[in-house]
Amino acid sequence: MPPVKKQVKKRAPPKHKLPDPLKPGEVLTDSMKRQWKVGGAVGQGGFGLLYAASPNGPGTVGPNAEYVIKIEPHDNGPLFSEINFYLRTAKQDMIRDWMKAKKMKHLGVPRYIGSGSHEGKMRLRFMVMERFGENLHKMFESAGKVFTRRDVAMLAIRLLHTLEYLHEHQFVHADIKGSNLLLGFTKDTQDQVYLVDYGLAYRYLPDSGHRDYKEDPRKAHDGTPEFTSSDAHKGVPAARRGDIEILGYVLLQWLCGQLPWEDNLANCDYLRDQKIKYLRNIPSLLKACFPEGDCPDEMRKYLEYTSGLVLNSSRYQERPDYNYLRGLFTSALKKAGWKDDGKFDFLAAKPKASKKGQIKSSTDDDVQSPQKGRSVSPKKRAAPKKKAVKRRSDDSDVSPPPKKKAAPRKQAVKKRVYDDSDSDSPSPKPKPKAAKAKAAKSRKAKSPASKSPKPKAAAAKRGRKARALSTIATQTSPGLMARGRLSNGT
């Protein structure tokens, strides 16, 4: 037996291999003969690829295309099951009639657009879908791995409506989780949540009647390990109660951050035993998830209801009480004074995450062009550093006033050198002026009316000029000395 199990594991991957990529601009024709042009890749699932798409026409498919095309090799099974589900359950008129009857504005089931086969390097199966935005698992992580009690209550109400629609149309989802819950793509649908990925969707109520409870170890553990239902761990065909159990684990994780069995997700038998143990003792489950005892009452009642539904094999075929479960969360909102306005807290907190994204992008832009990103805080911090450098250079320029004063002195020296070519050299002028000033002071001090200091000053001046000219003459040329004699003689 062990070798057989190993062979099964080896055979499984080839059955679900990824398709060869499509080239942008390639045209696919669906079963209704409508043509779709493929754009760039926008995502990848476990067994297929997602491409932006639009009805075939001129031009290329832009990044904001309204549709996506999901493709996988024709031999794969998940997309075949998903297309089968959409054809039976998610036609646009069916969803519209349900919403009208229930007086609902929104139902989180994607609409079926089209599907077909495509012959290329390999034979592909494809399905055309609506375009969606971010998934709730990423929102959960960006919110610090915890959603507010109000958000969980509003999400629970919407998802229970979605599950009721699926179950009333003979299908169960069997793989509910945050990464399969997507927000709308357009501005009008960004606060709406859609349950996607119906690769494990199972028709629990075929024409012959409800499936029988039968454990099969060969089919055990299908789904996402941390959320897989107890029935799926035993290989029992998926039923409505399994979706209710899975949703309970998802809601619980959103509230407390981590499920107590997430420490060993690789051991599926361990996961099965832990879930059954805790379902038999809900208080111990709540204590493990909420050590401080702050578990919301509506969550406790939901899990107690789930425990009674799951642990009793006789209730395998029972229709869940959707109204009771929705009422738990509706009452919680009313008691807390919260309005179910569809404005989730994690969407209100989304700008914080987007600011981080803007900081990164603006920083990248600033590397290329520092003029961008005016209001980004990191840029504001960077600017003072640049200013600081300028200020330091300015501070070093505080001492230049002497340099500025030195410039006129150089100019004065130049003027003096230039004026030396004149017959009356002004080079000695600063000294006579000082002498005149001193003489004037002395005249005032001695006697204002006396005129004798003037001849003395003139004589002293002539003597200084004569000495200066004689010195210059001896150091320069005979012509200047002669010129000095002539000046001295006059």
Read out DSSP for 282-298?
A: HHHHHHHH-TTS---HH
Mapped onto helix, strand or coil, the DSSP state of residue 131 is: coil
Residue 175: active-site member: yes
Residue 263: strand, helix, or coil = helix
- Is 70 annotated to bind a ligand? Reply is yes
pTM of the model: 0.68
Strands 123-130 and 67-73: antiparallel
β-pairing, 27-29 vs 35-44, is antiparallel
Q: Give the residue from 43, 122, 42, 113 showing the smallest Cα distance to 76.
A: 122
If pLDDT is split at 50, 70 and 90, which confidence band does 354 have?
A: very low
Q: Give the pairing type, strands 67-73 and 49-55.
A: antiparallel
* E strand or H helix at 133: strand 132-135
Which range scores top for mean pLDDT: 283-292, 352-361, 389-398, 451-460? 283-292
- Is the predicted pLDDT of residue 116 greater than 60, yes or no? yes
Question: Residue 365's pLDDT is what?
Answer: 33
Provide the angle, in degrees to the nearest 10, between the axes of the packed helices 377-396 and 350-368: 40
**How many Cβ atoms are within 10 Å of 57's Cβ, its own excluded?**
8
For the segment 65-73, the average pLDDT, to the nearest whole number, is 92
pLDDT higher than threshold 70 for residue 441: no
Q: Give the mean model confidence (pLDDT) for residues 71-85.
A: 87
Q: What's the one-letter identity of residue 104?
A: M
Catalytic residue among 30, 151, 175, 231: 175
- For residues 257 and 245, give the distance between their C-alpha atoms in angstroms, rounded to a whole number: 18
Sequence-ordered list of residues with C-beta below 8 angstroms from that of 193, at least 6 positions apart, any chain: 108, 136, 155, 158, 159, 181, 182, 183
Are 140 and 254 a contacting pair, CB within 8 Å?
A: yes
Query: What pLDDT, in 10s, does the model give residues 198-255?
Result: 989 999 999 989 999 999 999 999 999 999 999 999 999 999 999 999 999 999 999 9
Are the CB atoms for 378 and 368 separated by under 8 Å? Answer: no
Comparing 56 with 366, the larger pLDDT belongs to 56
- Taking all residues of the chain, what is their mean pLDDT, rounded to a whole number? 78
pLDDT at 404 over 60: no
Coil/strand/helix, residue 110: coil
Q: What is the mean pLDDT of residues 338-344?
A: 91
Computed over its alpha carbons, how large is the radius of gyration of the chain? 45
pLDDT of 485 over the 90 cut: no
Q: Which residues pair with 72 in a beta bridge?
A: 125
CA atoms within a 13 Å half-sphere pointing along the CA-CB vector of 450: 13
- The residue extents of the domains of the chain are 12-130, 132-365, 438-490
Q: Which residue has the higher pLDDT, 154 or 408?
A: 154
More confident residue, 433 or 61: 61
Q: Which two tokens stand for residue 153?
A: 């209550």
- In sequence order, the 6+-apart residues with CB closer than 8 A to the CB of 471 are none
Helix 149-168 / helix 322-336 crossing angle, nearest 10 deg: 160
Instruction: Give the count of beta carbons closer than 10 Å to the beta carbon of residue 158.
Output: 22
SS3 (DSSP) at 42: strand
pLDDT score at 383: 43
| pLDDT recorded at residue 49 | 84
Domain 132-365 coded CATH 1.10.510.10: yes
16 to each of 47, 77, 260, how far by Cα in Å? 6, 7, 31
Query: Mutual orientation of helices 297-311 and 149-168 as an angle, nearest 10°?
Result: 30
Q: Give, in words, the CATH class of 12-130.
A: alpha beta
